Every structure is written in structure tokens, then in C-alpha cells.
Chain A
Amino acid sequence: MRRFLRPGHDPVRERLKRDLFQFNKTVEHGFPHQPSALGYSPFLHLMAIGTRSGAIKLYGAPGVEFMGLHEENNTVMQIHFIPDQCQLVTLLDDNSLHLWSLRQQSGASELREEHRFTLKGPPGSPPSATQITAVLPHSSREVLYLGTESGSIFVVELPSFRVREDRTITSEAVLQRLPEDSCNRRSCELVEALQEHPKNPDQILIGYSRGLIVLWDLQSSKATHHFLGSQQLENLYWQRDGSKFVSCHSDGSYTQWPVSSDNRQPEPLESLVPYGPFPCKAISKIYWQTTRNGLPYIIFQGGMPRASYGDRHSITVIHGSQQTAFDFTSRVIDFFITFSSEPAAEFEDPSALVVLAEEELVVIDLRTAGWPAVQPPYLASLHCSAITCSHHVSNIPLKLWERIISAGSKQNVHYSRMPWPIDGGTNVAPDPPQRDLLLTGHEDGTVRFWDASGVCLHLLYKLSTVRVFLTDADPNDNMNALGEDEWPPLRKVGTFDPYSDDPRLGIQKIYLCKYSGYLAVAGTAGQVLVMELNDEDAEHVVDHAEADLLQDQEGYRWKGHEKLKTRDGPVRFEAGFQPFVLIQCQPPAVVTSLALHSEWKLAAFGTSHGFGLFDHQQKRLVFVKCTLHPSDQLALEGPLSRVKSLKKSLRQSFRRIRRSRVSSRKRRGVSGNASEVQEANAKFDQDALQEMELAPVQRKIEARSAEDSFTGFVRTLYFADTFLRDSSRHCPSLWAGTNGGTVHAFCLRVPPAERRMDEPVRAEQAKEIQLMHRAPVVGILVLDGRGTPLPEPLEVAHDLSKSPDMQGSHQLLVVSEEQLKVFTLPKVSSKLKLKLTALEGCRVRKVTVANFGSCKTDDYSENNLAVLTNLGDIQIISLPLLKLQIRYPCIRKEDVSGIASCVFTKYGQGFYLISPSEFERFSLSTKWLVEPRCVVGAPEATSTNHVHSKSGLGSAARRS
């Protein structure tokens, strides 16, 4: 035992460890949590997203991405790229400005913060005097114009952020030459918008919130034009030629103004309330894009009739007679338009509308009739329905990969074929070493197949299990079906839909056999579906089998949810994975473990009541085993038991309080209503905190006993061909581990292939091991004669693994939450153990065997256990000697959902959720490392097109 306490100091091993293990968090997949700002550089073709936690992320061509984090962790309010530069400026909610640069270093670009700056007013001035509301990076790249709440516009030099006080545009200067009646100080209250003249860099347009708009000449420091708007101003947009501009207003109207040298105080050309005549909500941003054919695109955010559609998050596109109000699933943060023309071209010719909503990114193709959506290659909304589980499969055979892609492409026909419009930068990362799939199970009963090979997590195919069941939702209820004369012409876009029809549909466990294409999926209401990949649509009946896990245990009543009702008769399934058999566990408790052996055609499943084995070739239940302890009332009654739910809800509410405390600290500096809410929140938090302090947290110290609840909960299932009964003959076996520290081993007799359909599969209980520490068993593994884990089913048949050594004696590794133990087989005697909890106070949450290759030589690799503990540490433990190799802190221990969501890959990488919508990817291996590596081209004022030609090649190569 003591030898585990001292880490080995063998220098050879230490050197080898350095060649094998290395910890890196490489990239974040998915959609940023709580985005707060959007920026776009038409020059670099790069998009930037800022979040409430102070992160900024830059995206270009697929694979081109950068991330930066503001030290302050404050909300990013605005992002502005410096024209024609690899630089951008961010404004945070603490009124600080930050200059970021993309610099090339050893062949790849890096995003770095260069400077920070907070605007300071004269001593004694109110904070509002310098509170920045609008930022204009001037095309000269030398200065920033900063509009403030006080109405003054400050000028700072770049990159030094030196304030040029001599050039400050005060409201007094602006009001000169203005007619007396509109000349009061209040008209200059807050700078709402600043826009540079598209043709003349010496002129800038200043919009004040009260409605006054001024064209200011920088050379003469004088206002050349005054535009007297009567409505509260929201935003401004110049037309391409500089002859007109548009203003949009809080009453839902927009106004066109002419700019000419003869009229210094012109009247508006046109003023419209597009969704009038009833009161409308504000139009907060507007674009006026000119085209070759003369008909402009008018694109604006908001403006919906307040009473009937005030709750919609919409962006309207008007082009001639076409008008569509895109209706988003969540609040619109910001949007921009991409255009493919040269910056100096006469017309803008918009190509795509890019909208950042709170929960997803939506891109609309404006070139194709019908304005279809474009499928983003990154920034996927992982949480469009909440993720309930994930499963990773490494090294997918090409054949299966192509079939999944083909099934997925049939689902994506409604997407535009337009190439991804945001295509800046060049991806210089090597092609991913292998094809990896990440499968996520969702609350709405879907399983999503993601291409997790490279930096861009990309949706390949979506599988829905809902069709098998009868649900309350009417399948004919089509939200998009709108009548001809529907006004406003709303059209739903986006996939974010967090509301599940029926929580019982939720997916809990997934198991994919990459060699055979068999997939098993299990859900919340005890449903287990076995599926097969079919390249064509098909209509067939799903066979149905019931597995009564309580068997002869009498007198128990399940108080939890009912099982899902199934559809009678044949069901039509689209191409892809199609279920052919449904196994329904009784009672219909959550399926807690699942295993599939495609070679033997067996599926094993477990719940809190027991486990069963199903022969999916003969479609026959082989056996069930009840693991329930008679006193375990909680497991019997199901999740609706009052005792548990009360406890749980209390715990959750405390967690919520804690979380809201953290987030409320971040959300400062928002005016008006929000701050009141915050104040109330803060008060509530404080009260809750005090309450917690009054009753100190205490923990009961009690040994686990057989009577504890949920001891029968089946945590892990494992198939192995090993020596279970005697050392001369090996046989198929099924292993199950429970929450109470019990391991059940069943000896299986699978008929040979030629009689597979004729003879039944038989099973017999051969062993039962009770770990005296009674901790939940989270992993079971059999090591062959060489101490190597047994290969996966069909792996040897596909020549992808050496045959296991059946000469030497096999060993059984049982991983409980507290210890790892190795036993001999077939006679079970304990050989080795490694205690984690007793010595370190940590518990095993996830464990996987991973293969680590050396970065120095290609021919050396070894299998180790990767273990994630409840403290968020990752430990690598050697096999078969169970020696701790190395330990890395990975996830904060308070991040319970992050720890629960973690999945390891077979090659020493892993994923965990850092927010409901984002996976962090990490690597423990020196050899397998997927991280962005990209170059953003140096400024070339003339052309941008060739900058990104290479990246297109890169992404094409990855798909093949």
C-alpha cells in the first residue's frame, strides 16, 4: 500500500511520462454562453463575439478561431474592428476600452490584449460625463471617437489611448448655428450613434438620443448640417454614396435624410413606420444596402407592433416587394451584413445576414430566392434542447462516416448551399488525425451526431426517437405554416427550442458500435431502443419487449412516471438510424447503464431496480436480475418520492442562489429597471446567505450499509470474453456493477453463428462480488494475459486490434467511486488496489481506458486509466499496476454539471460542458491534440478575396 504514496522516481519512467502526458485545454466548442456583443470586420472577414463574462471570441473560415479573456470578467458591451487592421477595440460595462491585436508568432496568429484605457473626465465631473455610449474607429486608424452620456465626443489616439482634449466635440460647439427653438442643452443629452461619412473621412455624423443629428466636419471643427428629428433616436446608417442616411427611432419608424451642400438643415425625405399604424416597438438598428439592380435591401431590427408582437425578437428584410420578418428563438444581441463586393465598389450587394441571438447564431442567405438559412460550420447551439448525456466514439471507419453524413445531408436540404460567408484567415492546423464522433443525447428525445474530429464541432446528423412514441404534441402542428396575407410576415428561424414536450423522452445513455452500425439509445422512462443504420427511408413496425425488473418482488408500487405509449402499426423512419426493437423496462425508471455487444448481438441495460440482457438477433429477453434491496423504498417509488424531491429542491435552490450571486456581481452598470431588479436580487441573496450562515452546513459521518437507498442502482455494464468459471475455457460474460458496491457476473452461452437463430442465448449467474466499502461501482474492465484491456467487440475482426492474450491469466479491474481494485480470474482473489477516497478525499466520477502514444516515437503507446474525480482533477493511472502517473486540475470542483458532463475519448482527450451550450475540449496526450492554429493575413487594402482561398481547401480536405 505504501508504495502508492510515494510517486515513483525512476528517471526513465519520468522521461517517458513527459513524452506521453500533457494537459491542455485546447478549444471551446459550441455557442458562447450569454453573448453580449458582436463585431465584424468586412476587411478581415472575421466576426467577434463578446460575452457577459468578459470573453471575446473571433471566428473566420472554419478552423480559424481565437479567444481572449478580459481580466476584469466584465460584460463586453461593444466590439469594433479598426478599419483595415488586425486590431479591435472592446468596450466593457465598467467603461474601460481594450485594444486587442492579432499578431503572428511562429507561423500562427495570436490574439493579445495590447492596451487598456478608461476615459477620465475633469475632476469633479459626474461619471456620466465620460460614460461611453458610442465608439467610432476612424478610417484613418489613428483615432477613436467616443460618444458619451454627457453628449460630448472625446477623441483618443490609437494605439496609445492618449486623449486629444483639443479635439473634443462638446455639445456647445454642436449647438452653434442651430435655430433658437431647438437649441437647448437637453437636445444633446446622449450620443446614440457615430458614423463616418462613407466618402469623406473628414465628416462624421453624430446622432443624439433626443433626435438631433449633426454632420460634423473634423477639419473645420464645425457642424455643417443639422437634422432635426422629432423622435427618440436609436441608430443611424449611411447610404453607400453618402448622399443620404437613414435614422431609426424608438417609435418603430425610420427616416431617410438627404445630405447636400445647398440645404444645411434639410427636411426628411421619407419617414415610415413599417409595422404601423398601431404603436410599435423601437427599431434599434437599420441597414440600407444598395444593389446593382437599384432595389435596396432595408434590414432592421425590431419595430414590431407593440401589443400583438411586442415579444418577438425579429429582424425584417425588405427588398422590393419581398418582406420577411425573421422571428428568432431568443433575444437578438446584434447583427451585421456581409457583402462579397470590393470595399470600394459602388454597390454593397449584400450576400448574407448574420444574426447573433442570445442562444444561437443564424445566417440568412440573401442571394438565394426564399432567403434560406445557412448552416454554420461552428458555433452550433449544443443546447437547442438541453444535453442530457454524451458519448464519444473515436476513429470511425470511413464507411460508417460517409453513411452518417449522407443521412444527415438528407435532413439539411432546406439549408442554403452558399459557402460560409465569414471566411477570413487561414487554417494552418494539420488535418485531424482521425474521424471522431461525439453523440449528444437531449431532453427532447433526440441524439445529435457531431463531427468532433477537428476544431469545428459540426452537426452531421440528428436522430429523433420521438417517432416511436405517442406524444401529446400534434405532429401536424406546423409552426411555420402561415397564411398568405399574414401580417407581419413572420418566419421562424433557428433551432433553439429548450422546451421539451415530454421529459420522459430524454436520452440518458447512448452506445454506438462503430463497426456494425448498431446503436442503442436509452431514455428517462425506461425505454431502450436498438437501431440499425439504413441508407433509405423505411416504414416498419418496431418490435416491443417488456423487461420486468422487479420480477417476483411483490407489494411494491412504482410512484414515478408512466412508460411512454408506443405507436401501433408501422412507423415511417427517415434514412439514418432506424429503431427495430424497443425494450421497455418495468418499472419505467431512468435507464442508468447500457452496453451493446454487436458481435454477440446482445444489449444489456440497467435501471435503479436491476438489469437485463436482450438478444436483439432473436428479439428475445435472455434474463433479468433484480438488484433491489428490499428496504430500498426510494428506488421503488421512483423519482417523484416526496422525501427526495424536497431534499433535492432545497439543494437546487441553494445552488441557484449561489449562482445568481456570482452572475449578479458581473451584471453591474445597467441602468433603470435592471438595477432595481439587481438590488432586490442582491438583498435576497444576502438574506439567503445569512440564513445559510445561521445553520452551518454539517455532514453526517456514517458507514455505508446495505440498507442505504439506491444500492441496487446499476451503474455500469460490461461484456467480456474471459475466464469466468475455470482457467481452461473462456466464455462470453456480462458484468454489472451497482451503487451498493456489488458486482454481478453472468456466464453467457451464445450459439455459434450458423445456429444463432435456432438456439436461445443462455445466461447463468457465476459470481457475485460484494465490495466491503460498498461504494458505487463505476467501471468494470477485464485485462488479458498481457495486462491489456480486452478489445471492443468486432475490433479484432476488423483487424484494428491484436487478439487478446487468452494464454496468461486474466484480471478483473473494478473501479468504485472510492477505490480501484484488481482481482484475479477465474478464482477471485484480490491482487492490487488503489485507494483514492481514503487517502485524498476525492471520489471517482468518470473513468475510461485511454491509449497514450509517445510524441517521440510512433511505435510506443500504452493503455492507462483516465480518471476524473469529484474535485475536478484528472488522474492518469497505469494499467495493470494501478500506479498514479500524473494529476491535473481540470474542472472547478464547484462545477458539478461540468464534472457530470465529462466524456473521455479513447486517445486521451475529453470534453466537458463549461456552460449549457459549450464543450471545453481538453487533451491529456502529447500526441493527440486538436487545437486551432490559424493565420490572419496582414492588411492589404486592395483585395481581400485571396486571403481566404486557402482555408476553403482546408475545410474541404477535412470533410473527405
Chain B
Amino acid sequence: EFRRFSLERSKPGKFEEFYGLLQHVHKIPNVDVLVGYTDIHGDLLPINNDDNYHKAVSTANPLLRIFIQRKEDADYSAFGTDTMTRKKNVLSNVLRADNHKKKPHIVISMPQDFRPVSSIIDVDILPETHRRVRLYKYGTDKPLGFYIRDGSSVRVTPHGLEKVPGIFISRLVPGGLAQSTGLLAVNDEVLEVNGIEVSGKSLDQVTDMMIANSRNLIITVRPANQRNNVVRNSRTSGSSGQSTESSLPSSTPNILANSLQGEEESDEEDIIIEDNGEPQQIPKAAPTSESLESLTQMELLHESTQNGFLPSSEMNLNHSTGSISMEYEVQDADHKSLEEDGTIITL
């Protein structure tokens, strides 16, 4: 079914409100749906948070076409770059489900349906030869799965080239988290652990640091293979908004702020059982500070970037229009070809 309604472009409100509005308009208050829209390139892109919602509203020209799919029937493969142009008409594709069976797609599920297991962070503040990888360890389901060793690396110093001791990844356990991300490899040199430089530290010390941070491990490496480095063409596109060309040591405070905040998030989970009752998480006695919250936002921003849902192109915003009309569609397609096989694509 199609519905058309208007929205205040200058005050789009929050995604939650918009989602509620959609449910209300379609009279499906208790149905989980996926919301998508077509951007100016004709790509079908999701709307699932404030940011991409705002983006969608601000780029509407002037009509914003919204697609709604019931979540359990959702065709995730419909999203992504070139989806609209490739398929010419996403609508026909979506409506004629049998078309779809011919091509098995790599399935990309929605961010809220899975949790990140790894990400590359701080691309904008690190030298291009370095890579900062964050591994998310939840519970005990998957081992981190790597080994480190002592070694030596060559550094450029004021006195010329010098051989200095370093810590290297020596082995990846097949099926482990480290291997499955593809972001770490044998012989990568470990430079930092959660923002702390490892130079001058012993193998045992670095081991202890990594294990202590294992629930939210951020390792900065110099990959042994330098061919797959991220090439930056625009510094301003960085998610954290930093465009300083700072070298590694001077950027450490910023790194610390990020990584520590992450830590704070993830490991304040001690559990208490009172009088043989149910285990509960131990609450914090002191309220969280404001700055932490803002950092949390930044972190979310990171993740969405990494998963490729945020369009990177700069848009001309049309501020003149007071209201936008929208087109939308609720999908009732009945294909169940989806499975969450956990394949994760990262940059």
C-alpha cells in the first residue's frame, strides 16, 4: 500500500518519532519494520537512526520515497550502493520475489540485528601505515584467538636506522575473532594496546595488558602487508571530525579518550548476587559525566561509518522548501530466503 504525507523539513524530529509516525500512518503499531529510502543516486538506503533519517530528510528533492518492509520478511540484499540503478526498479524486484532467487547475494543484515565484532578506528589521525583495530569480545562465544611474540623492527631515528625490539602477532587461531576479522595478520607489529604504547614493555606485560582489555581490545598495528592500507582522499570525511595531521605520539590523548570511553562502556558489568537471588549487574554509584555521553555518540557514528550505511558524498541541501512530500511503500513480500550467517563486511 502507498501512503503520502508531509513532514517539516527543518524540524524532522527524531527517528523514533518518525518510526512511530509510520507505524501510526500504516496502522501497524506492533509490527517491526525496516525503513529504507532512495537517495539521489537511486540507491536504496536504510533509515534506522537519527543520523541517516536526518540525512534522508535533508536530501529529499523534494519528494522522499520511503520503503517499509516487515522485518521478518525483509530482503536485506535490496539495500546498498547501486541497488536502485542496478535493478532499475527496486519495486519490481521486491514485488517479484522469484527474480531474486537466481542470484545468491552476500547478505548484509541491519546494524541493530547484529553487533560489531571489529572495526578500524581513528583512520584520520593515524599515519596511513598504521591500523587501529578494535575487537569486540562478547561473552565467551568466540575466542579472541591470537598469539604475540617478541621480535625486532627497524625504526628511523635521528641516528639513522636502528633495530629496536618490538611485539608481533605470531599466530592466528583458525576460527578465532582475530582471524575472522581479517584485520590482523601474522607478523603485524603491535604498536599500542588501548592507546598505550607497547615500546619498552615486555612480552608478558603486553600480554597482561591485552588480556586485561580483552573485552574491548584496541590494538594499533603496523601491518606486515602494507598494500591494503586505507588511502585517504579527504581528511574531512573522517568520522570523528579531526583533520589534524598529527603524528602518532601527539595524538595519544585523543586516542585515550576514545578507547577509555569504550572501555568504560564495556566492562562495568560486575555482577552481584544478593542473598542467593538472581545475578544482577552492579550499578554505578556516581553519575556518568556529560563528556562521556558525547563520546558515546561519536562511537556510534564510527560504527555506522564502518558498516557503510552513511553516504559520504556532500549534498546540496534545499532549505527553501517548508515541507516535503513523501512516497512510501509497505512491503508485504513473503520471501524467507534470508539467513543470518554472520558474514560481516568491514572496510
Contact = CB atoms under 8 A, between A and B. Distances in A.
B115 to A, nearest CB: 16
A697 B284 contact: no
A769 B270 contact: yes
A706 B140 contact: yes
Given A699-B147, A702-B143, A767-B273, A828 B282 contact: yes
A823 B283 CA distance: 10
Interface in B192-227: 193-194, 196, 201-215
B329 interface: no
Given A766-B274, A829-B284, A831-B285, A704 B214 contact: yes
B267 A830 contact: no
A266 to B, nearest CB: 69
Interface stretch (B2-10, B11-19, B256-264): B256-264
A842 interface: yes
A749 interface: no
Nearest to A700: B147
Interface in A778-836: 818-819, 821, 823-824, 828-832, 835
B339 interface: no
A703 B215 contact: yes
A696 interface: yes
A770 interface: yes
Contacts of B203: 697, 699
Contact of B267 (A705, A773, A829, A840): A773
A772 B267 contact: yes
A699 B148 contact: yes
A593 B208 CA distance: 24
Given A768-B273, A773-B212, A773-B267, A841 B282 contact: no
A705 B212 CA distance: 12
Contacts of B150: 696-697
B274 A838 contact: no
Nearest to B271: A770
B207 A699 contact: yes
A399 interface: no
A282 to B, nearest CB: 49
A766 to B, nearest CB: 6
A839 B194 CA distance: 8
Most buried by B among A706, A830, A837: A830
B258 to A, nearest CB: 12
A701 B211 contact: yes
Given A696-B150, A842-B208, A772 B140 contact: no
Contacts of A1: 260, 263-264
A745 to B, nearest CB: 10
Given A2-B257, A830-B268, A843 B208 contact: yes
B171 A698 contact: yes
B62 interface: no
A480 B145 CA distance: 62
A830 B208 contact: no
Contacts of B148: 698-699, 701
A686 interface: no
B76 interface: no
Nearest to A818: B212
Contacts of B273: 767-770
Interface string A679-721: 0000000000000000011111111111100000000000000
A765 interface: yes
A580 to B, nearest CB: 34
Contact of B207 (A701, A704, A893): A701
A697 B149 contact: yes
A830 B283 contact: yes
B347 interface: no
B247 interface: no
A653 to B, nearest CB: 19
Contacts of B215: 703, 772-773
Given A767-B273, A768-B273, A839 B137 contact: no
A655 B279 CA distance: 43
Contacts of B194: 838-839
B272 A768 contact: yes
Interface string B134-150: 00010010011111111
B212 A830 contact: no
A871 interface: yes
B276 A837 contact: no
B213 A838 contact: yes
A701 B146 contact: yes
A839 B263 CA distance: 11
Interface string A833-869: 0010111111100000000000000000000000000
Contact of A828 (B137, B170, B207, B272): B272
Contacts of B272: 767-770, 828
A575 B205 CA distance: 49
A771 interface: yes
Q: How large is the interface on B (under 10, 10 to 19, 20 to 34, 35 or more residues)?
A: 35 or more
B290 interface: no
Contacts of B340: none
Given A703-B144, A766-B275, A770-B270, A696 B211 contact: no
B140 A703 contact: yes
A839 B196 contact: yes
A818 B208 CA distance: 9
Most buried by A among B202, B211, B269: B211
A314 to B, nearest CB: 47
A699 B271 CA distance: 29
B286 interface: yes
Contacts of A771: 270
Contacts of B213: 838
Contacts of B210: 701
A479 interface: no
Interface in B146-175: 146-151, 170-171
Most buried by B among A700, A824, A837, A871: A700
A699 B212 contact: no
A5 B256 contact: yes
A778 to B, nearest CB: 14
A775 interface: yes
B144 to A, nearest CB: 6
B275 A765 contact: yes
Contacts of B171: 698
B282 A699 contact: no
B205 A696 contact: no
Contact of A841 (B206, B264, B285, B286): B206
Nearest to A766: B275
A871 B207 CA distance: 13
Nearest to B151: A696
Interface in B275-296: 275-276, 279, 282-286
A725 B256 CA distance: 39
B211 A769 contact: no
A823 B282 CA distance: 9
Most buried by A among B171, B209, B257, B270: B270
Contacts of B170: 696, 698
B270 A830 contact: yes
A893 B282 CA distance: 35
A870 B205 CA distance: 9
Contacts of B146: 700-701
Contacts of A871: 205
Contacts of A701: 144-148, 178, 207, 210-211, 214
A772 B263 contact: no
Contacts of A837: 208-209, 211-212
B324 to A, nearest CB: 43
A828 B209 CA distance: 27
B195 to A, nearest CB: 9
9 contacts: A701-B211, A767-B273, A769-B271, A770-B270, A823-B285, A824-B285, A830-B282, A838-B212, A841-B206
Nearest 5 A/B pairs, CB to CB: A841-B205, A703-B214, A837-B212, A699-B207, A841-B209
Given A698-B149, A702-B144, A772-B267, 9 more contacts: A699-B206, A702-B145, A705-B140, A766-B274, A767-B275, A770-B279, A821-B270, A838-B263, A841-B193
